Structure 1
Amino acid sequence: MQEIDDYDYGGNNGLKNLALIVSLTLLSIPVLAFKYIDFVSTWKSSGYIWEAVLLNKQFAYRVDVFLSVRPYAKPLALLVATVLVICLGGLAMFSVTNDSLADCLWLSWTFVADSGNHANSEGIGPRLVSVSISFGGMLIFAMMLGLVSDAISEKFDSLRKGRSKVVEQNHTLILGWSDKLGSLLNQLAIANESLGGGIVVVMAERDKEEMEMDIAKMEFDFKGTFVICRSGSSLILADLKKVSVSKARAIIVLAEDGNADQSDARALRTVLSLVGVKEGLKGHIVVELSDLDNEVLLKLVGGDLVETVVAHDVIGRLMIQCARQPGLAQIWEDILGFENCEFYIKKWPQLHGMQFEDILISFPDAIPCGIKVASRGGKIILNPEDSYVLQEGDEVLVIAEDDNTYAPAALPTVWRGNLPKDFIAPKPAERILFCGWRRDMEDMIMVLDAFLAQGSELWMFNDVHEKEREKKLIDGGLDLSRLENIQLVNRVGNTVIRRHLESLPLQSFDSILILADESVEDSAMQADSRSLATLLLIRDIQSKRLPMSDQVHSGSLSHGSWIGEMQQASDKSVIISEILDPRTKKLLAMSKISDYVLSNELVSMALAMVAEDQQINHVLKELFAEEGNELQIRQANLYVVDGEELSFYEVLLRARQRREIVIGYLVSKAERAVINPPAKSERRRWSLEDAFVVIAEKEWE
């Protein structure tokens, strides 16, 4: 029995010595390899050339590739290191104690997990091994903390940078960032208010935190709408998928600041990326273009999926309309925004078989403006003939406060009177001044030539030299020799220098348009500051040139009020200022020394309206176009006799004798027009100082 015990003891000593040798060998291999690996090289083929590559560089390269490419590399490295420390520690512990190998491996794990366990070890050998294992355990624990910390930091950094995916449906997606974003978000929030709010996702090549800070500074109520920001490029499919582009109900592509062609080229590439989404798009695309000539390319790429709003060209034409009809800018602002009345299209089966003349007076809370004809592929006919009969499948276009605030009622009895007079007055020649230079100047000149009477003058005052000015107009497609009604008068000067402006006959112009100059249009604040300076200088010069009798009669001299003098000058000529920043609007509204066209806000309103209903874009395009129907302000003497009592319905039917649709009225001395008035059947007394807002095919002469 004693012999067997001696034999087992000798066998255990052999195993323990072997375990110690293996442990020391495994620990020494990395040290020797790290020290002498520089002396080992391999041969690597690069084409036809064989070159020596040091093994340490190859090893470092392979480790780097493994850690970079494999997402599980760091956790795997930590696991391998932990297993090695436990195994080596267990073998070493087995070599210096009388415990079994299984017990030593478990003890080694406890030292790794809790370094304080080695305090209970007895003997020099076990203590040295346990301390070594504990140091390895601390290293493992530090690696694990670093790995967890990096993972958490990376996740929070991903959330902070806007890299996480948006999991939304039926949201509005805005691609890009510009000065129009604030007004656009405001309009979308108002549109979503009746639904209890909505989700708007903004993706731009900006830092997410910066975008959120800029949006937080916007001074308006989101009315339950949540805005989610993400950093990314609209040209990268992976970024588009990150914002759930395929599930958005509308996608708005904003024009970038800067060169018009570059901005439109980027919009074209964005549409190509959107069309290339494999999952397909649920909603339509609304693209803000800078140049009308590029619209054909967008339609070629996107087809019926894309609606375009050519902002710059639209604002130029709108400014001309507003210069010739003061107050029209405010009416457009009311119709385009969601705060008052806007366009809606809906089917009403109960109206089938009725003529459009009867449909006009069938809505107490709305004004019909057109028909979407089903038999003509859904084409919208604005201001149709009275005899048109509503067919099955047709839809009615109306102006109403909201889509759920109107419905047809019983047909009222309306007296159909006659117009008070029908005459054609010759249009007088006009003198108009343009201050500043826009890139669509040639289009504005062609529109003016079509509107104005023969013998009219267009003065252009800016710092572009005359030869360069002529070259730009010709390159834009304007044939100066084919202008029939206007004569161009060129003056070179700075619009914010008083002595330059004083060289112009400012008191003789019927209308003055202050344009957001092309050189500063990228900065809304700078452009508006320049426009305000020009406006104040012109009004001051005009007030100083007023006849003395006018100044004394107005009381401006006795009061010494500069704003009073400028308001007196504003009665003599119309000035339209192109304003980019909504905050500048408040200054002009309070002073009442100029009408204005809030270009950025109007474009944002149009984008939001088309995003909500794709069909409305066809209506807006016709109203903004050179030909076809347009919004106009007409004097009351064309429809009523002074002091005559008529209901709005009666005025509406009278206007149909000229193929016009009256959508509102402007009472004398009132600041704002009333669009889609209530109580349309109630009679009221009209004055010849009143005016009516109409949709008409051409301007009444």
Structure 2
Amino acid sequence: MDSQDNLSLKKRLRYQFDNFMSQGGFAVFLALLSAFFAAFVLMTLVRYMVELIFPNEGSPDILWEVFVQLIGLRDVGDDANFAAKIVGVFAIFIGLIFFSSLVAFVTQTFEEQLLMLRKGKSIVVEKDHTLILGFTDRISDIIEELIVANESEEDAVIVILAEEDKEVMDDFFRNNIADFKTTRLVTRNGSVTNLKNLKKVGVNDAKSVIILNEAKGADLEDFKSLSDSRVVKAILAVVAANEEVKLPSIVVEIHSEQYRRLAETIAPGVVTTLNEADILARILVQTSRNVGLATVYLNLVGFEGNEFYFYRPTLGWKNISFSKLQFHLPGTIPLGVRQIDGSLMLNPPKDYVLANNDEAIVLAEDDSAIEFYPEPTVQPREIGYQDELKVAERKMEKYLLIGWNNKTAIALGEYAKYVIPGSQVNLVVRDLTDEIKAKFDQIAKAYPDVNLQVKEVNVDSIEQLKTLCPYEFDSIAILAGSGKKAEEIDAKTLTILLELRQIFREYTAQTANKVMTDLIAEIINTEDTDLVVKAGVKDFLLSNQFVSKILAQVSQEPDVMSIYLDLFSADGSELYIKPISLYFPEEVVRQVTFADCVLAAQSRDEICLGVRINSEIGIREKNYGINLLPKLDRRLFLSLDDALITLAEDEG
């Protein structure tokens, strides 16, 4: 019975010891430290007893001698007697065990912390940082945009949480981003839907959260649906981690309309969703009908170049009308008004008088450039057409769309909304499946006044491309195909461009007629822009860069998304590039200032944002001829080949 009790006691003690040691590194450290201290006390008592029985000459400092012997810094000494030497040997031996174990434990713990840091598992202690969840091919463009946005801050922070290894992410950013300027980049590894991981990266103190979608537009619908559901789960995790209070603005990219509605209902007014296909398809159509608009949009979205701001002067607007406002805000262009209820008006009536609580929607290079002057800073001249306005005659249009992806159906519908009855829109695909045919027929049925046609053509064959008579179209838009890498997708697009250019050359050589068809291409990789320009492309849609810029800007100012939605829509006012001859007679074109252009556009109920110089269209260093926000008093020396960039209700 006693033996059983003793055995149970041993088990209980062992169990308690195991529980104590399982608490982690600090418990192990305490155990080793306690053992070392116990050894120190024991050996000190033994040494005192030996010293009483076999005293040494002199008065040794026993406490110090025992301690330095335990940590291995001192031997027993030649002048000690035999008993003291025996005790010293035991002290050194015991110290070798316990102190070495303690040092080894500290070293191991330090190495584990370094390993944890390398793996990206340590906590982030930051405030007002931008948190990015996920790691996709958009990440570098988003980071570059945020770096530009953070230039005015002394110590800005971007934190990235993704399932990729921290070392992989760090190497990627070092290789792809040349200058971080005033921004620090912090990477951490872990699941983006895990609450502990989110709290570890400071989601409670973040000013905004960007959630990236793993799926690309060209991926299968099942994978896009799965990726959308993961994004929604990540939104729920962010809301839960913040306990639904003081939520940061959350910006996400979601492909499915169903999941977008679901995401926006999780935290109304906090979650902003972006539909890549919808936005890019609208931009593609507008660009193919107004060559140069893609470059204009690239200058508007993001932080590099010009940005949208909401501005209200401290002392109010002093009953100023919107038409006069443009000459009281030098260095900027007012595009509209945000009223106190949050509603937006782009290109409001000229006689609209701003209320003191209205905010002007202003396009400017930086918010520091925005200043309201009570008096106009420049007096424009009425040298443009004022009474008898010229109207651009609308003609039948003919467009060719090559390729089928998630933007094609939207683009077909947008073309049909813009063109006049009787115009023609052709679609060419490699494989005309029943699904594509059904979607196309549905669109064609919805727009019976537009001649919509679809053909199955091997676009890799120059002979089959010739059967399309591509030189007869006003513009040809080539949509990005499918592929695992951006380089692979762009290579296919570039091949089609070169084949079309060859067809154009042969046609001109045979007929002596110059081909007027504009080529528009969707490009995935930003680095391929020079190649497509040399291939004869008049304009290009950088799909990755567009979406990345919008995600970055909306994360810092969520209300900007409503401006983009208005600009990209066929309803209301859109951007156009219109010939200068609609605004000024030939004899005054070279004399006009930008203020004169602004006034001339106002006479047509339009807002002038800048000019396009025709002679600079193919020059990258000249921004492909696009010049936004010149100084109001600057003389432009335009020609009849140049154009104004305006915000207008229609293209007339």
TM class by smaller structure:
0.7 to 0.9
**Partner residue, 2:526:** 582
Residues 68-79 of structure 1 aligned to structure 2 (within 5 Å): 68-79=22-33
Distance 1:103 1:221 in 2: 61
Residue 641 of structure 1 is matched in structure 2 by: 585
In 2, the alpha carbon distance for the partners of 1:203 and 1:76 equals 34
- Give CA-to-partner distance per residue, 1:91-135, whole Å, 9 cap, x none: 877898864999999876554333753465989887666544433
Q: More displaced, 405-414 or 323-332?
A: 405-414
Contact 1:67 1:73 in 2 (8 A): yes
- State the TM-score, normalizing by the size of structure 1: 0.80
Aligned to 1:316: 281
- Is the partner of 2:186 in helix, strand or coil? strand
What does residue range 511-550 of structure 1 map to in structure 2 within 5 Å?
A: 511-517=475-481, 519-520=482-483, 523-550=485-512
* Residue in structure 2 matched with residue 596 of structure 1 by the alignment: 540
Cα distance change on mapping 1:188 and 1:589 into 2, 3 Å? farther
Determine helix, strand or coil for the equivalent of 1:585.
helix
Give the C-alpha shift of residue 592 in structure 1: 4.6
Residue 224 of structure 1 and its aligned partner are, at CA, apart by 2.4
C-alpha deviation, 1:78, in angstroms: 0.9
CA deviation string 1:9-37 (max 9, x = no partner) = xxxxxxxxxxxxxxxxxxxxxxxxxxx99
Selected match of 1:247 from 205, 210, 217: 205
Paired residues of 1:115 and 1:135 also in contact (CA < 8 A): no
- Per the alignment, in what secondary structure is the counterpart of residue 477 of structure 2? strand
| Counterpart for residue 621 of structure 2 | none
Alignment of 1:675 onto 2:628: yes
Q: Find the residue that maps to 1:626 and give its secondary structure.
A: coil
Q: Distance in 1 between matches of 2:233 and 2:280?
A: 25
Tell me the residue number matched to 2:644. 692
In the alignment, is residue 223 of structure 1 matched against residue 176 of structure 2? no
Aligned equivalents of 2:405, 2:368: Cα separation in 1? 41
Deviation readout 1:475-498 (Å, 9 max, x if unpaired): xxx455323244443333554454
Give 1 or 2 for the bigger CA radius of gyration: 1
Q: Which amino acid aligns with 2:431?
A: V
1:623: Cα distance to partner?
0.6
Q: Where do 1:128-207 residues align within 5 Å?
A: 130-196=88-154, 198-207=156-165
Contact 1:639 1:654 in 2 (8 A): yes
Cα gap change, 1:166 to 1:84, in 2 (>3 Å): closer
C-alpha change, 1:338 and 1:91, in structure 2 (3 Å) is closer
Task: Please report how far the alpha carbon of residue 85 of structure 1 lies from its aligned counterpart in structure 2 after TM superposition.
Answer: 4.2
Seen in structure 2, the aligned counterparts of structure 1 residues 90 and 193 have a Cα distance that, compared at 3 Å, is closer
8 Å CA contact retained: 1:643, 1:686? no
Could you tell me which residue of structure 1 aligns to residue 237 of structure 2? 273
Long gaps (5+) in structure 2: 217-222, 618-624
Distance 1:654 1:94 in 2: 105
Once residues 106 and 627 of structure 1 are traced to their aligned partners in structure 2, the CA distance between those partners, rounded to angstroms, is 88
- The one-letter code of the counterpart of 1:72 is F
1:658 aligns with 2:604: yes
Residue of structure 1 in register with 2:219 after alignment: none
Cα 1:498–1:613 change in 2 (3 A) is same
Deviation (angstroms), 1:209: 1.8
Counterparts of 2:69 and 2:636 in 1: how far apart (Å)? 97
- Give 1:37-186 correspondences, 5 Å limit: 65-83=19-37, 85-86=39-40, 99=53, 111-114=69-72, 117-118=75-76, 130-186=88-144
Larger deviation, residues 599-608 vs 238-247: 238-247
Cα contact 1:161–1:230 (8 A) shared by 2: yes
**Identity rate, percent:** 28
Distance 1:381 1:100 in 2: 101
Aligned AA for 2:251? V
Q: Deviations over 1:417-462 (max 9, x none)?
A: 515544463430413132x221233222211221223344433333
Could you tell me whether the CA contact under 8 Å between 1:450 and 1:485 is conserved in 2?
Answer: no
Which residue matches 2:371? 407
SS in 1 for 2:131: strand
The partner residue of 2:335 within 349, 356, 369 is: 369
Distance 1:490 1:208 in 2: 48
Does residue 448 (structure 1) correspond to residue 392 (structure 2)? The answer is no
Native 8 Å contact 1:251 1:285 kept in 2: yes
SS in 2 for 1:384: coil
Larger RCO, structures 1/2 (Cα 8 Å, 6+ apart): 2
Q: Distance in 2 between matches of 1:201 and 1:448?
A: 41
The answer to whether the 8 A contact 1:175-1:254 is kept is yes
Q: Which amino acid counterpart does residue 79 of structure 1 have in structure 2?
A: L
Q: 1:347 aligns with which of 312, 318, 324?
A: 312
Whole-angstrom CA distance in 2 between matches of 1:362 and 1:668: 30
**Residue 206 of structure 1, CA deviation:** 1.6
CA distances 1:509-540 after superposition (whole Å, capped 9, x unpaired): 322222122x32x5222222222222222222
After TM superposition, the structure 1 stretch with the greater mean CA deviation from structure 2, 155-164 or 206-215, is 155-164
- Superposed CA offset, 1:609-664 (max 9, x none): 22332222211111112322211111222222222244433332332343211111
Name the aligned partner's letter for residue 290 of structure 1: H
For residues 60 and 443 of structure 1, the distance between their equivalents in structure 2, rounded to whole angstroms, comes to 70
The one of 470, 479, 490 equivalent to 1:506 is 470
CA distance in 1, matches of 2:36, 2:238: 48
In angstroms, what is the RMSD of aligned CA positions? 3.4
Distance 1:373 1:514, change over 3 A: same
